[in-house]
Structures are given as C-alpha cells and as structure tokens.
Amino acid sequence: MAQITTLVENRVSGKNLKCEHGLSFHIQTSSGSYLFDTGQSGKFIENALKLGIDLSQVDAVVLSHGHYDHAGGLLHFLEVNDRAKVYLHPQALKERFSRSAEVLKSNGIPWRNEWQQFEDRFVFVDEPMKLEDGIHMLPNIQSVPDYKVLNPRLVVEKDGVLVPDHFEDELLLVLKEENEPVVFCGCAHNGIVNILHHIKQQLGMDRFQLVIGGLHLAGQGQEEIQKVLEGITKFEVQHWALNHCTGDEAIALFKQTVFGQVSYADTGSQFNV
C-alpha cells in the first residue's frame, strides 16, 4: 500500500499548515519516498515537518512542468536533501509567461538559470521511463481529435513572437502497485482526456483507482467542462481527488456527473492506495 500526502496546495483546512497557489505531493510506497512537484516556495517543507514526513529521505522528485508554482520550491528542497534525483522534461526550463490585456509576467521556473550548480542531481526525461517497478513517468502527451487544449493566456516566445504554450514539457506520473493505478496531474495543461488516452496508449490502462491533482479547468465555461466530462466516460476512475487549478465549478460538475467519488485534496489531505 502507498500513502499520498498533499504537502501544499491553494487551500488548507485547519491542521496548522500553510497553503499557497501551488502544488506538491509526497508519495510513500513500499519501495521508496517520492515528491511530485515542490510548490512555489519552502512551505511544503514546513508542512512536511509538521506532518512527520522526513524529506531528507526522499529518493526522487518528479516535476510535472515548468511553472513557478510547481517547481519554485525545488532549491529549498535541495537544501534539506542531498540524495534525491530530480526528473523533469528538458523543455521545462524554457522561459514562460502569463499575459492579460494589461500585463505580461514571467511564470516559468525561477531557478532555470541556476540549475547547473546541481547538474549531477538532474535527469531529463524525454521518453517513457520508470522510477521503480510500477512507477512510470510519461512525457510527450498527444492530443486526441477534438480535445486539443491551448490557453492563449499562457505563452512562450518563438522567433521573437509570443505564441501559446503547447506544454511539451508536461510529465505524468503513474503509480501501479497492488491495486488499480493512480494518476498524478500537476495541472493537466494538455487536458485530462488526452492524458488518460496517452496512458492507455503507452501502458494499456483504462481503469484507475485515483486521479489526483489539478485539471486546469478554473475559469472554463460549463460547455467546456461538460465536453471534458463526456471525454472521460471511456475510462473508469474510482476516485477523483482534485485541487489547485481545477476550479470550484468544475469540481461541482464532476460531483454531479462522474461515476465514483470526488473530493478536494487540500493541504494536509492523505490518501491510502
């Protein structure tokens, strides 16, 4: 059995823990201790201490993509852990921006020009790879017809022009031990429908015990969310533990629509799988 703990995300219910706009999960399995994302600061480390989780014993860190709120806390982690390898897609270090009508601001990895000082700790993942038996990292998510996702507000620079970010760097983590597999999403920038299809194509899985993390549906209209709900009907998910960028409206519609449990995975929440 594995235990998953939300070390930090946007909300917290009591427990004397800290929250922030960001995401970090700790995963304790029979084979080791792992992190999926590191939030935007060192708050996930403070929370881990209060929860009795020793981050100095973490064996590996997987970064879901190159945004500050998922990778910004990494350098804080490397100060308390001198052993873990850090797995990320090479495109995660690309400079990224968030734009509106009024402002353009950087939202990429804040240490992207400093990572070389820890070069021996970094492992770049551009093809499917296993952390351990039953722990899969999947890059290069492909879109299925009618479900290509582009957010014009999230951009990168290409040939001197700002263009929508295609999130080629998004990295999935799939845990398969004794029970049905667990899927970890950072933000699901490529779309949860495409993600589940990609896992089926790569690993032959279409039944899942748990999908946990953010689905980046906050701010989407009901029609867009309903389309996603239609797209996931080809898969059986026993439990959706959603948070971060999923959005209250999307979570409410998931609760009304999907077969299986839907819960909010706030800071400090734990799941045994």
Over residues 48-62, the pLDDT tens digits come to 999 999 999 999 999
Rounded mean pLDDT, 192-217? 97
Q: Is the pLDDT of residue 14 over 80?
A: no
- Predicted model pTM: 0.97
Q: What is the pLDDT of residue 148?
A: 87
The pLDDT tens digits of the residues spanning 174-191 come to 999 888 999 999 999 999
Domains with residue ranges and CATH for the chain: 3-272 (3.60.15.10)
pLDDT at 88 over 90: yes
Quote the CA–CA distance of 85 and 200 in Å, as a whole number: 27
Give pLDDT tens digits for 262-273: 999 999 999 999
Q: How many CA atoms lie within 13 A of 2 on its CB side?
A: 26
- What does the pLDDT read at residue 101? 78
* Average pLDDT of span 195-214: 97
Per-residue pLDDT, averaged over 221-227, amounts to 92
Q: In the predicted model, what is the mean pLDDT of residues 38-45?
A: 98
Task: Give the mean model confidence (pLDDT) for residues 42-46.
Answer: 98
Mean of per-residue pLDDT scores for the chain: 96
> What is the pLDDT at residue 86?
98
Taking only the tens place, the pLDDT of each residue in 105-118 is: 999 999 999 999 99
Which pLDDT does position 112 carry in this prediction?
A: 94
For 91-134, where are the E strands, in sequence order? 97-99, 104-106, 122-124, 129-132
Q: What is the pLDDT of residue 234?
A: 94
**Three-class secondary structure assignment of 185-216:** ECCCCCCHHHHHHHHHHHHCCCEECEEEECCC
Is pLDDT at 247 greater than 80 in this prediction? Answer: yes
Q: E strands, the chain, where?
A: 3-8, 24-28, 33-36, 60-62, 85-88, 97-99, 104-106, 122-124, 129-132, 135-138, 154-158, 161-164, 172-175, 182-185, 207-208, 210-213, 236-237, 239-242, 261-264, 270-272
Burial of 82 (0-12, 13-18, 19+ CB in 10 A): exposed
Q: What percent of the chain has pLDDT over 70?
A: 100
pLDDT value at residue 177: 84
pLDDT at 231: 96
User: According to the model, what pLDDT value does residue 185 have?
Assistant: 97
Most distant pair of Cα atoms in the chain: their distance: 51
